Amino acid sequence: MRTRLRTLRVGEQTFTWRAAIGQVAGDGADRHRCVRVRVWGAGKNGRALEADLLSKATSVGWSPAETDGSYPAAADVRFLVEHALTLGWDPGALGGTFRLTEHHGLELPGFLLTDRVRDPHAPDPTARVNRAAEA
């Protein structure tokens, strides 16, 4: 399957981005939809922005990931880019990755940032989704 690259403009700069759909396990038997977003502002050799987005959807089924159709919109990616730029992301730097993590406290209308994909000891996604649904 071919990866679909999208573009968006923030100010005068054009950014290219893609989103890969996956799953992340909770502490129990449940799994949640997780979308890894990668953004480039200066081509593939520039410093990429990366964020793992945990869907806040509480779908019905064996696990939320089975029936969740959440996918980030261009407005969500624009918000990530603007936030990362204020944190010091330099898309023109050569190589490397600038990661947005849970510690940045960022929340989108349909997503939370999660570290669980890279760190199995990160906070339980189920508890975080449930707290977000209550708020």
Residue 52: domain span: 6-134
How many domains is the chain partitioned into structurally? 1
Reported as a single tens digit per residue, the pLDDT across 56-114 is 887 655 566 666 788 999 999 999 999 999 999 999 999 999 999 999 888 899 999 99
Q: Give the predicted TM-score (pTM) of the model.
A: 0.88
H or E element, residue 32: strand 31-40
Residues 6+ apart with CB under 8 A from 78: 8, 10
Residues 6+ apart with CB under 8 A from 99: 49, 50, 51
Residue 1 lies in a domain: no
Measuring CA to CA, how many Å separate 76 from each of 19, 79, 80, 110? 11, 5, 6, 9
Q: Are 48 and 25 in contact (CB under 8 A)?
A: no
Q: Are 99 and 115 in contact (CB under 8 A)?
A: no
Residue 33 lies in a domain: yes
Reported as a single tens digit per residue, the pLDDT across 10-68 is 989 999 999 999 888 888 778 888 999 999 998 889 999 999 999 988 765 556 666 67
Residue 61 lies in a domain: yes
Residues 6+ apart with CB under 8 A from 51: 36, 37, 80, 99, 100, 106, 113
CA atoms of 27 and 118, how far apart (whole Å): 15
Residues 6+ apart with CB under 8 A from 123: 102, 115, 116
